[in-house]
Amino acid sequence: MKNLIAVAVATATAFTPIITQAEQRLDDHILVTATRSEQALKNSLSSAVILSEVEIDRAQAQSLPELLDHIPGLDIDHSGGLGSLTSLRLRGTENDHVLVLIDGVRAASATSGTTALTHLPVTQIERVELVRGPRSSLYGSDAIGGVVQIFTKKGKGEFKPYLDFSYGSHDTHISQAGVRGLYGNTSYSLNGSYTESEGYDRTYDNSGADTDKDGYRESALSANIQHEFANGISLAMSYLRSEGNTELDGSNDSTDFINESRDLSISLPIRDDLKLKAQFGRYRDKTYSFGFSPALFETTRDSATLQLDYSMAENHQLSFGYDYHIDDVSSSANFIENERDNHSWFAQYLGKIERWTLEAGLRTDDNEAFGSYETGNLAIGYDLTDDILVSLSYGTGFKSPTFNDLYFPFTDFGCFFGSCFTFEGNPNLTPEESESVELMVRGQTGNIGWFASLYQTDIDDLISLSNDYSTVANVAEAEILGGEVGANLDLFGWRTAVTLTYTDPRDKSDDSLLIRRSRASANLDISRQFGKLDFALFWQVQSYRLDQDQDFDGRKDRLSGYGTVDLRARYQINNELSLALKINNLFDQEYRLIQPFETEGMTAAISVRYEL
């Protein structure tokens, strides 16, 4: 608690306000990811953000990382523009401590343990939910820092086709087309897009081995159909696929990729107080790298879920579920093992008695590679008034070792600059484990919505490279303290939101800061409708961060903080036709997020949309 108090003081006095995405009003938002069931965001004890279709449209983002970049508590680093290597760290945790779901299907490579966020086409996304804090008691492995769930475009309303074309900096052009609608009790959606960019040389001062421009191209398709039967049964199918090529700086010049997600889900109301839900899914992640050391890595994950929701009484719900998934790996590397499965069972209680709210959950995962792990969560909330909620939550989490960690075959990478490098997986690894506690308060005071949270996360048995880089072991521990505060306001037609975040992520062995995390950030979002013109301004400031020294001698370089201003505008010419403009990094600030890669500088794009 002493540490949390220190964080509270640091958060309250954090330097100049920095920009981030607005925490939206709670009245009309429904959250699914936090409890695996529909729940009003204003009643949730989770720290969560929902990006609606309107907000996604206003952002005009060209990639998923760009869309998520202004969310408080989230650190996104990348090695350049479209298609670049991208990492997402939530509340100071590692890149592979954030579970990513696509329409409920786990989306991550079994070899690297991460999700290729940059290849998930933002053009096919209707909604994003982000839950901060551990959710392993519902989802199992990976959900130490939180969960990001992507919902692809669904059908609704009358028949509506659309076309959208965008052109911008680095000869980047994006074409989109689709149709959506509702016919009787059947909704449908079909969308396609093509993205191509000439790119730029991403290395600092053209210092890389390849000083050519690093281009990107991607073709994407999504489809969804859902039917509501007269007896209340619902059947839905969704499909998402993206494939293309990204050019890189390094030993491999470029990489071909395919990402594919599909699912079939059924909702069956057994009686008024009892509902059964089932989902069957498949996720595929395939990359082939060209260049000095060509390599193929492909993950296929088949999954099945059963969940029974029982409404015992008003404001009291019990949920029981079973999850199964099996990972299959194909690779140019001869892994010692190429398949493993995971069985899990979970239970959850959601209840409210007068001003008290309770959420409790337990889960056990039985993994073929390392045995059983149990996780849990407990959250208690109290309504101080009708408009102010305070909550305290505790949760545990874990992260499974990847196939690379466990089974990568002995490989001799040769000698460079007088040093020789080999690597081999360690089959004796155990999962990384975490404990987190969070104190949160949020409310509505007049036309001002506000929130504040403090958290502490301790992670043990972190998997790290050995000193000679020859293998990995459970040797590291981390402690992360942090806080987030924010408010939003509608005044004279202006929608304004401000958030401040503070993070203190430490390696327990030497009390040093973990790399690639900004210690403090702030965001200011301002938007307004002027008749047919919708205008938005995003101002973001990030403090310094550390990264590995390029000599790989164990030292850390300090990368300077920065501030950027982004502008968005859309003009509705008539009911069918609109024009849009976006400018990122208006004042052309120079900064780096990863050594030795350069960010883009100022970029701009214009787009035209026709929607019947």
Domains of the chain: 2-611 (2.40.170.20)
Tell me what pLDDT residue 210 has: 59
Tell me what pLDDT residue 469 has: 82
Tell me what pLDDT residue 324 has: 99
Whole-angstrom Cα distance, residue 552 to residue 54?
A: 45
Burial string for 472-491 (b: 16+ CB within 10 Å, else e) reads bebebebbbbbbbbbbbbee
Tell me what pLDDT residue 252 has: 59
CB 360 within 8 Å of CB 349: yes
Virtual CA dihedral for 138, 143, 147, 149, nearest 10 degrees?
-70
pLDDT tens digits for range 183-242 = 999 999 999 999 999 988 877 665 555 567 889 999 999 999 999 999 999 999 999 999
Sign of CA dihedral 62, 64, 77, 201: negative
Tell me what pLDDT residue 587 has: 97
Segments in 361-410 forming alpha helices (H): 403-407
Task: Locate 300 and state its tokens.
Answer: 């296929």
Q: From residue 334, give the alpha-carbon distance in Å to each of 162, 407, 466.
A: 46, 9, 22
Whole-angstrom Cα distance, residue 490 to residue 602?
A: 30
Tell me what pLDDT residue 21 has: 38
CB 274 within 8 Å of CB 300: no
Tell me what pLDDT residue 22 has: 39
Under-70 pLDDT residues of the chain: 1-28, 204-211, 249-252, 291-292, 416-418, 550-554
Whole-angstrom Cα distance, residue 488 to residue 496?
A: 5
**3-state SS, residue 313:** strand
DSSP state of 97: G
The pTM for the full model equals 0.93
Tell me what pLDDT residue 78 has: 85
Whole-angstrom Cα distance, residue 137 to residue 580?
A: 43
pLDDT tens digits for range 284-305 = 999 998 866 788 999 999 999 9
Identify which of 148, 139, 132, 250 has the alpha carbon closest to the alpha carbon of residue 202: 250
